[in-house]
Structure 1
């Protein structure tokens, strides 16, 4: 019997969200302080749904690191494997909220602690005690974290841990956006499940910088040109067992080698803030998967969590509880 349900690995940060919803970034007068980062958001969302979760990330020897760890401990997320890395700073992100379609995001990640995760930090994790591990693409963006993530993949595979990749493409975290695809393609075959938006899937096969366009500094929502059908096929040929393509208000699709696409409808809502929707999706999907649900119901759960979070101001701090999600789904006709 495994002791823990889910380990998430990679980014963590203090997130400073505009307190002036709808205000252009240059006119923001105040910020609200929350926490964030794809793996932290997934860990929080999964924990609130009922999973026993842990986070492997790094923090600096600073008050921001204390802020992040305090939140996690209050949530009941295991922080045993979060090192304080001397000589680094805990990460910060500044975000604007201009619905319906402008959500600028500015990373402050020079010398950030989580990108300094190393082999020793990974070696300290008891992978045999986890059912699943969720990785984020940004954690592969540079060393020593990149090598640490490949080592973590090895450890997870050797211990029969389900390996999930949230593609998490953030172009400005790579010295060249094409390097993202080269690195992720090298890792794809080690994952059981890959989750991403159409844009993130296309980024995995980016060959020309001109294919990428980022408007209004929306780092989390780039426009990418490419052949999505071919990209999906290439991911499945890599050895990935299941690919889940997130399609926003249109729900999501499930792809598996040799099988027809399964379309899973979403839940229409009025959008306040899209940031964190994908992480909420992954939390809900992971909950369903580790609860023994079939893929359709698990993805539907992910769609519900994503729909709820886009109506709220932030990410981790606003993740829904199991009771909230079940009532939300029930009110809309069930799974």
Structure 2
């Protein structure tokens, strides 16, 4: 549920947007990437979002449909254009983004009237992100979906400072929905922003105290840490040459959600997620780089 965009990526690495002359378009955004990742892991997936009545929106709908994603709740806004995102790619760790989605865009205009709340309530897993809370209408839709949902809700903090008037506004929105989440994912900066605490360890404790049973701290090239009840497990990274790290977190989340849905041990699911994130980070695209189930199973068996 949430953010969608047409991602406009450069055909040349290590080149500024000012000097880049050729680009290739992909489907992107939290919802687009995670849905694609799940579909390729053979999970029946539906997207809840909106696009504009334009060629970018049609491109997104066509791609998601080809990936066997249910687009019945992918609405069309007849006033606003589909968001576009440009990026620069400077491996291994600099990927500046230029978003065209303010002051608002179709997925931020999403309301509970745009989807079947009762059907979403019965989904085994509901995945949402912090970006979906950045505007009032979308925040309300997310709140309704989470309040009505009866199964596992996974919340990716997905903090993008340019979408918020202040870190405090982000923290307030997160605080309101945390009690309805069963699992939270984020990196140290996102944990700090979500709690207003400079000490990441205190922030982790604060997030866990707010309700979620499971918290996964994403540490990029240093792996991840799983907090599951009294269990704390440090999961080492998977070493691969990084080309574009922008889609790694969404691939990670898709693999975790797949593990939860299939009853895979969470520690193993996080190890598989680390591999999926590294796999996507070794390529330029995000959605189109998502691994298939046979690739993931071959790399990290589900019973390892």
TM-score for both structures, normalised by structure 2: 0.95
* Structure-1 separation of matches of 2:118 and 2:180: 18
2:93 to 93, 101, 119: 101
**Is residue 280 of structure 1 aligned with residue 257 of structure 2?**
no
**CA deviations over 1:218-240 (Å, ceiling 9, x no partner):** xxxxxxxx201100000111011
**What residue number does 1:295 align with?**
266
**What residue number does 2:279 align with?**
308
Contact 1:81-1:125 within 8 A present in 2 as well: no
1:14 to 2, 6, 24: 6
**What residue number does 2:221 align with?**
249
**What residue number does 1:215 align with?**
none
**What residue number does 1:218 align with?**
none
Contact 2:10-2:24 within 8 A present in 1 as well: yes
**What residue number does 1:238 align with?**
210
**What residue number does 1:146 align with?**
139
**CA deviations over 1:249-273 (Å, ceiling 9, x no partner):** 221111134x142111221111111
Deviates more, 1:124-133 or 1:265-274: 124-133
Q: Structure 1's 286 and 260: CA in aligned 2 closer, same or farther, altered over 3 A?
A: closer
Deviates more, 1:117-126 or 1:42-51: 117-126
Task: Report 1:164-313 matches (<5 A).
Answer: 164-206=154-196, 226-257=198-229, 259-313=230-284
**What residue number does 1:76 align with?**
68
Q: Structure 1's 48 and 12: CA in aligned 2 closer, same or farther, altered over 3 A?
A: same
**What residue number does 2:120 align with?**
127
CA RMSD of superposed structures (Å)? 1.5
Deviates more, 1:20-29 or 1:77-86: 20-29
Aligned partner of residue 234 in structure 1, secondary structure: helix
Post-superposition shift, 1:129? 3.8
* Structure-1 separation of matches of 2:219 and 2:171: 20
Post-superposition shift, 1:192? 0.3
Aligned partner of residue 70 in structure 2, secondary structure: coil
Post-superposition shift, 1:89? 1.2
Q: Which runs of 5+ in 2 are unaligned?
A: none
Contact 1:243-1:256 within 8 A present in 2 as well: yes
Q: Structure 1's 106 and 125: CA in aligned 2 closer, same or farther, altered over 3 A?
A: farther
**What residue number does 1:61 align with?**
53
**What residue number does 1:328 align with?**
299
**What residue number does 1:89 align with?**
81
Post-superposition shift, 1:287? 0.8
* Structure-1 separation of matches of 2:231 and 2:141: 36
Contact 1:81-1:124 within 8 A present in 2 as well: no
For this pair of structures, how many residues does the alignment match? Answer: 302
